[in-house]
Every structure is written in C-alpha cells, then in structure tokens.
Amino acid sequence: MAHVLGIDLGTTNSCVAVWRDGRAQVIDSAEKERTTPTAAGQPTPGQWIVGAPARWQAQTNPEFTFSGLKRILGRSLEDPLVLQAQSMSPFSIEASPDGFAWVRTRDGLQSPQTVLAHVLRKMRSSAEAYLGEPATACVMTIPAYFGIAQKAAAKEAALLAGLQVVRLLPEPSAAALAYGLERGADKTIAVFDLGGGTFDVSILKIRGRAFTVLATEGDQFLGGDDWDSRIIDAVADPFRASYGVDLKADRVALQRLRDEAEKAKIRLSSLEAYDIALPWIALDPRTGQKLDVFHAMTREALDELTRDLVARLTPPCDAALAKAKLTPRDLDEVVLVGGMTAMPAVRDAVRLLFGRTPRQDVSPECAVAIGAAIRGAALTGEIRSITMNEPLPHSVGLELEGGAFHPILKRGAVTPVRKRADVFTTSQPDQQAVAIRLYEGDLTVAGDNRALGVLILDGITPRPAGEARFDVTLDVDAD
C-alpha cells in the first residue's frame, strides 16, 4: 500500500507527517516550517494564498483572510459556538442554503471545508515533494468531541484536496500514540492540548493497543492568540498615551505588532527577557517625526499580564477528571500537546493541576500529526494494529410524532456499534409513507438537536393507523 499521510488539521496550525524508514517523520512546509498556519487569504477574486503567506497579510486583508475555520466546520449558523465565532470574526460568516456556517469569500459564499481544502492541498504537495510520489490517502485527526456532521465535513475537506481519509483519529489518541503509550502496561492518561485558539483536555484509557477516550472538555476560545493580544495591549496602550497614536487602528502597524508579540511570547518561553522593538512604526502627528516601539518585556511581566488566562485552564481539567470519575492520583501519565505548552507558566499550571510533571519529550506542535502517521502505518501493516474505541460524543436517534427526540444510540456508546430500535408504526390511517428524521444531540426536543438527514420510507401498504410496523437499525462505523 502506498504511503498514508498523517494530517493534523489544527485550528491555528496544521502539520503533516508520514511513516518512512521505520519511523514517523514530520514533513516541512514550503516555507521550511514544521507546521502550516491553517489560514487562506484572497487578495483578489480567484486568487488564494495559503499558510504562512496568508498569515503575513492577515491584518491588512482581514475581511478575506480566513482562519479558525475548524471551529465552525460542519456546524449550523445557529450553533452557539458559531455565533460566538461570528461576533469576533473579521470575515463574514453566513448561512449556507442548508443552514450551515459558511464564509463570504471574494468568489461568493463557500463552505469552510472548501477553504480548508486549500491548506490541505498545500500540505499534500509538500508531502508529495518529500516522498517523490503522489499521496492520495491520509489519516486525519479530529477533536474527540466532533459529531457526525463535523466528521463528514472534515472528510470532505480532505477529499476536495485529493485525499481519501482512510481513518479519522481523535487528537488525544493521536498524541498518546506519538508518545508510544500503547507500549508497556495499561494506563490512564490525561492529554493537555493548548494551541493557538483552543484548549482541549482529555482523559484516555489505554488497554493493550486499544484506546478509549473517557472524557473530553475544553474552551473553544482560549489559546495562544489571547496571550499575544495581552502583549499587544501592553505595548499599544502606553504608546497611545505617550503619542496619541493608536497602533491597533493602523492595519499595517497592527500586523507588525501582532507578529512581534507572538515572537516575544515564544522567546519568553526560553528567555527571561525580550526587547520588543519595532522601528518606524508610526509618525508623530504633532511633529511628523518617525516613532519607534521599544518595550522591554520580561517573562515575569508576561506571566503577570496573563495570570487570568492561565486560571481559565483549571475548570476544564477538573470537569474532565470529574466526568471520568477520576482524581489526579489515578493518572499514570500527563502528556502535553499544542505550541502553548512550551510556556513555563502553562507547564507550571499543569504540574499543579495534575500533581505531576508532564511528558513533553515529543514536539508539542507535531505530536498529533506524528500519532496520525503511526496510525497510518498500522493500517498499511507496517506496524501492529491499533484499536480505537470511540464513544459517541452525542446520542443519535429519531424524531417521534409530536417532535420528541428518541435516542437509539446513547451518548458514550462505543463505536463501531449497531443497534436496532424498538418497532415504530404509522400514526394516520392508510399512511403510505413515513419520514424518518435522524438527529444527533442530547436535548429532549428533536429539532433542538443537530439534524443529520431524513429517510423517506414509502410504499407502505395502506392499513389502519398503528398497524404498519417497521424497525430502524443504526449502524455507526469506526469513523
């Protein structure tokens, strides 16, 4: 079998790895970075710039630079998470004909999967250049909480980029694979993933080479970008006070400031102090003279500015442990994932929260892609097989007459799973067709859950109400 790429499609950054010469190898982007920003921008209609270059022009082309699309992928416009993303988004998020959250591009309304496909296509071509042969298959990672519509959208994004998804893999399970935690004794672990825009914490059980996600919690609006914004404010506020110039109102200045703020944050993970310097960032409105930013920043000052952000890491960790009915003592290992876990204050918080020193020996931005590549190698038979027991994040069931939701597969049912529902019947005399409406969710009114589709069963022999009987079997595969 040809190579199967391991793809981590992240909210902020994506990464691709592949199993080669007996190990998982990360493939550099066209810009020679280990990750590719999950961003695509349109300077003019019909033209797309993707990855790092899209990020470089984000601030000067905000309306048509698309990032953070993973948050809205496969969700309806009314989804509370989409509404929140919409309220903060510089680009326009609108309803598709089916009510899904799409984005307004210079070429019209497009699905997030269509835009994300540009990023995947770019990674695919880096992989093909590296392998020297076409790449057409991948294992793609997804958050453990992704529902059916989100998984379908993720697969579609890959397909649009010419990649068949051979398997979807939960991100925390991928991270555990990257750390080789399926080797040795059975374990219970926590995976702590703090990225650029999202925070996820999951508890996993590993028995032999089988992985089960016991609980997953997080904050979809907490990540490295928030740390960067604090640095931007710390620089821009005193600058405005001194010179009466608002750097945040000038798009070019803000782009430079944002890039420099992120650089400062990253440097302060290894250094105690860093001088933010941005020469000629503005002109003094009174004298017309060139103004520079010079701001001496220390790690201590950054920690002070972001103490409340670190505090927001606690509730999801507590909730995940509570859901798994575990205490920190029950954990055998805590694993760090996501670029932000390089930050000493974040590591200290993890140490306090879980009462142990976390594992961080695999590069945190690449661990998920590495795990996906390992999963791919197990599928191609290069290494021993691995089993993923994935509990359904939401119940799946039907709408009953009157609108109530009837779950057939309950939340937490481990996939693959097949279940036959109780016998259903007609409600009208001589009824010849029934509409079976499938929903995913846990709310009692079917329509409040996520609609998955409708199956029309017709050709029913006319009979008095309640006499035609049929049953429904739901079959959910490993994806």
Question: Within the chain, how many helices (H) and strands (E) appear?
Answer: 12, 28
Integer Rg of the chain from CA: 24
d(CA 442, CA 434): 23
Binding ligand ADP (rule: CB under 6 A), the pick from 12, 255, 431, 449 is 12
**Complex with ligand ADP: residue 130 or 221, whichever CB lies closer:** 221
**Complex with ligand ADP: residue 151 or 205, whichever CB lies closer:** 151
Tokens for 374? Answer: 């390992």
H or E element at residue 264: helix 251-267
Does 76 contact ligand ADP by CB under 6 A? no
Binding partner selected for residue 196 from ligand ADP, Mg ion, none, CB under the kind-specific 5 to 8 Å limit: ligand ADP
Q: Are 364 and 342 in contact (CB under 8 A)?
A: yes
Binding Mg ion (rule: CB under 5 A), the pick from 3, 6, 7, 10 is 10
The 3-state DSSP composition of the chain as helix, strand, coil percent (nearest 5) reads: 35, 30, 35
Does 339 contact Mg ion by CB under 5 A? no
Footprint of Mg ion on 185-244 (CB under 5 A): 195
d(CA 16, CA 8): 6
**Complex with ligand ADP: residue 35 or 111, whichever CB lies closer:** 35
d(CA 421, CA 423): 6
Does 200 contact ligand ADP by CB under 6 A? no
Cα 116–Cα 211–Cα 158 angle in degrees, nearest 5: 15
**Complex with ligand ADP: residue 35 or 150, whichever CB lies closer:** 35
x-or-dash string of contact with ligand ADP, 401-440, rule CB under 6 A: ----------------------------------------
**Complex with Mg ion: residue 147 or 195, whichever CB lies closer:** 195
Footprint of ligand ADP on 369-408 (CB under 6 A): none
In this structure, what are the phi and psi dihedrals at residue 9, rounded to the nearest 5 degrees?
A: -90, 100
Q: Are 26 and 374 in contact (CB under 8 A)?
A: no
Active site residue 122: no
**Complex with Mg ion: residue 10 or 74, whichever CB lies closer:** 10
Does 365 contact ligand ADP by CB under 6 A? yes
Q: How many residues bind Mg ion (CB under 5 A)?
A: 2
Does 114 contact ligand ADP by CB under 6 A? no
Catalytic entry in 171, 182, 226, 262: 171
Q: Residue holding tokens 């972001």?
A: 306
Catalytic entry in 79, 156, 182, 193: 193
| Helical segments of 68-170, H only | 80-88, 112-131, 148-160
Does 58 contact ligand ADP by CB under 6 A? no
Q: Residue holding tokens 């020193």?
A: 357
In sequence order, which residues have a C-beta less than 8 Å from that of residue 241 and are 6 or more positions away? none
* CB count in 10 Å sphere of residue 193: 27
Footprint of Mg ion on 140-169 (CB under 5 A): none
Binding partner selected for residue 441 from Mg ion, ligand ADP, none, CB under the kind-specific 5 to 8 Å limit: none
**Residue span binding ligand ADP (CB under 6 A) among the ranges 148-156, 190-198, 295-303, 391-399:** 190-198
Does 218 contact ligand ADP by CB under 6 A? no
How far apart are CB 363 and ligand ADP at their closest, in Å?
10
d(CA 259, CA 228): 9
Active site residue 78: no
How far apart are CB 374 and ligand ADP at their closest, in Å?
18
d(CA 304, CA 296): 14
- Report the Cα 152 to chain-centroid distance in Å: 14
Tokens for 382? Answer: 């290069």
Does 407 contact Mg ion by CB under 5 A? no
DSSP bridge pairs for 450? 440
Active site residue 430: no
Binding ligand ADP (rule: CB under 6 A), the pick from 50, 190, 261, 342 is 342
Footprint of ligand ADP on 243-272 (CB under 6 A): 262, 265-266, 269
How far apart are CB 11 and ligand ADP at their closest, in Å?
4
Q: Quick one: angle between helices 344-354 and 314-323, nearest 10?
A: 30
d(CA 119, CA 39): 7
In sequence order, which residues have a C-beta less than 8 Å from that of residue 380 and are 6 or more positions away? 1, 3, 4, 19
How far apart are CB 225 and ligand ADP at their closest, in Å?
6
**Residues labelled catalytic:** 8, 70, 171, 193
Interface ranges with Mg ion (CB under 5 A): 10, 195
Interface ranges with ligand ADP (CB under 6 A): 10-13, 35, 195-198, 223-225, 262, 265-266, 269, 338-340, 342-343, 365
